[in-house]
Structure 1
Amino acid sequence: MDFSKIKLVATDMDGTLLDPQHNLNEEFYTVYQALKERGILFAAASGRQYYNLVNLFKPIKDEIIFLAENGSFVVYQGEELSVQALDLAETKRLLKKAREIEGSYMVLCGKKSAYVDNTAPEFMAQVELYYDKVEVVDDLLQVEDDQFLKIAICELKGVEDSSNLHFREEREHLQITVSGKIWLDICDKLANKGRGMEVVQERFNITPEETMVFGDYLNDLKMIQKAHYSFAMENAHPDIKEAARYRAKSNSQNGVIEVLQQLVSSEKVA
């Protein structure tokens, strides 16, 4: 495998670059520095909030590209490359429909902040992993002074056979994505990591053949399709493994770091 033409590396976070405890491997910054020296751009592509990602990559926050909220908010060096927000009326309709799902919790993800109106400890423990700016409000339906990038529905028992099916009708005009075992993300139709990758590739004149991506779950599918060098983690969802051209070791085995080390050392791998 010849990595000599790679100009852009994009990776998902949870289940991919981060270990099972949601930590960034200490070897990452050494590898990142080598990527930078080779002129290779790095993008963090995640369902996580922009402010959370900025804090996660604080030492290099002014150097890398952020595809936050599943690609609905793309930022580079403080410049907003893309903002794909939901219509306000549609946002309120979706919130009302989500309330019908027993045992579900909601995060209304705005550009300024994330908003919650339920502070159950088991829910907030999950929210705190992915959102650094969170505002507790009396009623999500009353929040209007923001651009809403995503509605994240959390079901601790799992969403694939519950919330995911509840929003079947909306798939024709919205982006409905299972982004983790307990998370369903609802975004504008054009808001996804694949579209975010297109924005970045167009901005920097980079082709899919010059792009390497890593992912593990269904919200990575459209991003996987935008790169020739597409890697599914060993721990990935079966649909991601089927879509990707290549395989990386699991996130518990630092699979992304291993491939990037091969990239920066120009090694050939089978």
Structure 2
Amino acid sequence: MDFSNIKLVASDMDGTLLDPHHTLSEDFYPVYQALKEKGILFAAASGRQYYNLVNLFTPIKDEIIFLAENGSYVVHQGQELLVQAMDHGITRQLLQKARTIPGVYIVLCGKKSAYVENTAQEFMDQVNLYYDAVEVVDDLLAVEDDQFLKIALCDLAGSESNSNTYFQEEKAHLQVTVSGKIWLDICDKQANKGRGMEVIQERFNISPEETMVFGDYLNDLKMMEKAYFSYAMENAHPEIKKVSRFRAKSNSQNGVVEILQQLVGATV
């Protein structure tokens, strides 16, 4: 495999770079330093909140690119490269519809904070994994002073077979994505990891042939299209395996770091 021209690596987090306990391998930072020394940029591409990602990568937060909230918010060294917010009126309509789905919990994802109006423990356990700036409010519809990047539905019955079916009409004008077994994300039509990757590639003058990406779930589909070196995790959704060119070992086997070690070794 010829990795000699790679200038950008982007990886999804949960189910991909992070292990099944949602933690970062201690082997990541040495390989990251090797990437940095070779001038290869690294982007954390996730449905997670920006503030959560910053805390996850504290030692290198001022160096890497953050492609947060499924591509609706892209930041590098404190500079916003993309803010793809939803219309407030559409956001209100989506919130009202989401409230009609039994057993579904709602996270309103703003640029300043995530907002919740339900604090059930089973829900907050999930929220606390992915969001560090969280505000509990009496009414999500009353939140005004923010830009809304995403609505995330926590569907413990299974997002793909349950809440996803309620938003078929919205797919014509919004980005409706099954981003995990219990998560459905709704964003602006232009907000996805693929668009976020385009913005990064344009900003740094990097082509898809110079890009390597890793993913495992349906919110990574568009990102896979933006890199020649597209890797599906062994534990990935079948659709991700179908569109990717290459395969990495599962996240429980540190598959991303293994490929990155091969990358830095090959570009010595």
User: TM-score if structure 2 supplies the norm length?
Assistant: 0.99
CA distance in 2, matches of 1:64, 1:71: 15
The separation in 1 between residues aligned to 2:5 and 2:241, in whole angstroms, is: 24
Q: Name the SS of the counterpart of 2:153 in structure 1.
A: strand
Instruction: Using the TM superposition, give the Cα deviation of residue 162 of structure 1 relative to its aligned residue in structure 2, in angstroms.
Output: 1.0
Paired residues for 1:247-258 under 5 Å: 247-258=247-258
Amino acid at match of 1:3: F
Q: Which residue number in structure 2 is paired with residue 177 of structure 1?
A: 177
RMSD in angstroms over aligned alpha carbons? 0.9
Q: CA deviation at 1:99?
A: 0.6
Residue 18 (structure 1) aligned with residue 18 (structure 2) = yes
User: 1:45 maps to which residue?
Assistant: 45
The DSSP-based 3-state class of the residue aligned with 2:196 is: helix
Match of 1:210 in 2: 210
For residue 138 of structure 1, what is the aligned residue in structure 2?
A: 138
Cα-to-partner distance string for 1:193-222 (whole Å, 9 max, x where unaligned): 000000000000000000000000000000
**Distance in 1 between residues matched to 2:226 and 2:79, nearest whole Å:** 22
What are the within-5 Å matches in structure 2 for residues 1-270 of structure 1? 1-266=1-266
* 1:157 Cα offset (Å): 1.6
Paired residues, what number?
268
- The aligned amino acid for 2:186 is I
Q: Distance in 2 between matches of 1:179 and 1:106?
A: 14
Paired residue secondary structure (2:222): helix
How much has 1:71 moved relative to structure 2? 0.4
2: CA distance between counterparts of 1:170 and 1:155? 18
Gap runs ≥5 in structure 1: none
Q: What one-letter code is carried by the residue in structure 1 that aligns with 2:133?
A: K
Distance 1:77 1:162 in 2: 39
Q: Distance in 2 between matches of 1:118 and 1:100?
A: 14
Tell me the alpha carbon deviations over residues 173-193 of structure 1, each in whole angstroms, 9 at most, x when there is no partner. 000000000000000000000
Measured in 2, the distance between the counterparts of 1:231 and 1:157 equals 29
Structure 2 residue ranges without an equivalent (≥5): none
Give the TM-score of the pair, scaled to structure 1: 0.99
Give the aligned residue type for 1:73: Y
SS of the residue corresponding to residue 90 of structure 1 reads helix
Deviation at 1:74, TM superposition (A): 0.2
Output the CA distance in 1 between the equivalents of 2:238 and 2:225: 15
Residue 183 of structure 2 aligns with an amino acid whose one-letter code is W
Aligned-residue offset at 1:142: 0.4
Question: What SS does the corresponding residue of 1:187 show, helix, strand or coil?
Answer: strand
**1:2 Cα deviation after fit:** 0.3
Extract structure 1 runs of 4+ deviating beyond 2 A.
none
Amino acid of the residue matched to residue 184 of structure 1?
L
* Whole-angstrom CA distance in 1 between matches of 2:188 and 2:115: 18
CA distance in 1, matches of 2:225, 2:203: 18
